[in-house]
Amino acid sequence: MTQDPNTFTPPDYVRNHVVLPALAFIICIFIIEWFHIDVHLSQWLFHLEGGVDHWPLRQYWLTENVFHVGGRFFIILLGVIIIGFIIASFKQPKLKPYRKGLIFLLLSIATSLILVRLGKTFIHIDCPWDLKMFGGKAEYFSLFSEQPTTPSTGQCFPAGHSSSGYAWVALYFLALAYKREYRWMGLAFGITLGLAFGIAQQLRGAHFLSHDVWSLTLSWFSAASLHYFMFFRSSTSIGVESAVDYPEFRSNS
């Protein structure tokens, strides 16, 4: 029997949204660590900018004012819009079916940012601009290497600014519950926004590539976990045994 394309089984969900992304993340981090891509890429960018004892693009108007400061205000604006729609859903009947999804989106983004903030608080890794090789005073070490004798007080891991972009991969899961044909557009929006913020920060010397990869990973699994408990698990618990067909998807298609 052919399965409805709008449904999928629990093993499908776990394989596609947990196992395969986890394997991709492990492989990516292994390659970055094994080939020292963090350092090589940052050194290449540093010399490409003409850096000697500082990062020339650290305070450049495009990287600092547009992508960093402007990007932060853009994310805040998007958050305010989501909250506005949630509030409106209590007064506008047309928005009521989307209330759960909007709450999911807000919670997923907030969870991603909180996890990254906790990582910065408890995992002390320096920014590239703090390192001796780039004109700073700190010694380089990675998450998996031996730390220097003098403990670092850096708070540059994971990447905070890019996480505010990557957190929007939650749009993929939002579309998965309502309009599955739009899920790749949602994913593209989050990846593109995260890449734009992440590349700008790398050009400023604020982060290594691996910092962004960790932020993307935390954002993805935050969204996948919340989606599972808010949509997928709630659907299977009301009698759908073999495959999930979201009521949100059916009522709004």
- For residue 123, the model assigns a pLDDT of 94
Task: Say if residue 167's pLDDT is above 80.
Answer: yes
| Six-digit token string for 10 | 């629990």
Q: Which residues contact 124 (CB under 8 A, 6 or more apart)?
A: 151, 152, 153, 154, 155
Looking at residues 186-210, what average pLDDT do you find? 98
Write down the pLDDT at residue 1: 35
Looking at residue 4, its pLDDT comes to 44
d(CA 251, CA 253): 6
Tokens 């600014």 found at? 161
* Arithmetic mean of pLDDT, 172-193: 96
User: What whole-number distance in Å separates Cα of residue 14 and Cα of residue 108?
Assistant: 18
Question: Would you say how long the chain is, in residues?
Answer: 253
Q: How many CA atoms lie within 13 A of 241 on its CB side?
A: 0
The answer, yes or no, to whether residue 11 has pLDDT greater than 90, is no
Average pLDDT over residues 203-217: 98
pLDDT at 238: 39
